[in-house]
Amino acid sequence: MSTASSIAATPEPPYVAVIFTSKRTLEDRGYDAVSDRMVELGSTYPGFLGIESARGADGLGITVSYWKDLESVKAWKMNQEHQRAQAAGKATWYDSYSVRIATVERAYGQP
């Protein structure tokens, strides 16, 4: 998942951030392969700008994906393989999760 293990090189705002926070169960079956596949597949979608992902030893994970606009987010959300992965996540891999959709208005840093 190398595309998700560094800071995303996003363009000037505004753009959309999807903040996905999750608490994992102890059930590991198939998780890593599906997670990697979702990064790979999602990043081929039009409007995809980048992704950042981290999970700590305590099981809390945060993945932020960046998109050109809300239409791009909706199109990716409707992908059938993605929807199957989401269903498996809810049923098996995540104790709890939160999705927040936000408009990035300002960004700065030290690349």
Which residues bind to its own copies, rule: CB under 8 A? Answer: 5-8, 10, 13, 17, 19, 21-23, 52-56, 58, 60-62, 64, 90, 94, 96-111
37 or 77, CB closer to its own copies?
A: 77
> Least CB distance from residue 1 to its own copies, whole Å?
9
- Residue 4 DSSP label: G
d(CA 50, CA 59): 23
C-beta of 48: minimal distance to its own copies in Å? 16
- Cα distances (angstroms) measured from residue 86 to each of 70, 89, 92: 19, 5, 10
Are the C-beta atoms of 76 and 48 separated by less than 8 Å?
yes
**Complex with its own copies: residue 84 or 90, whichever CB lies closer:** 90
Contact 18, 90 (CB under 8 A): no
Q: Which is nearer to its own copies, 60 or 71 (CB)?
A: 60
3-class DSSP state of 3: helix
Nearer to its own copies, 44 or 108 (CB): 108
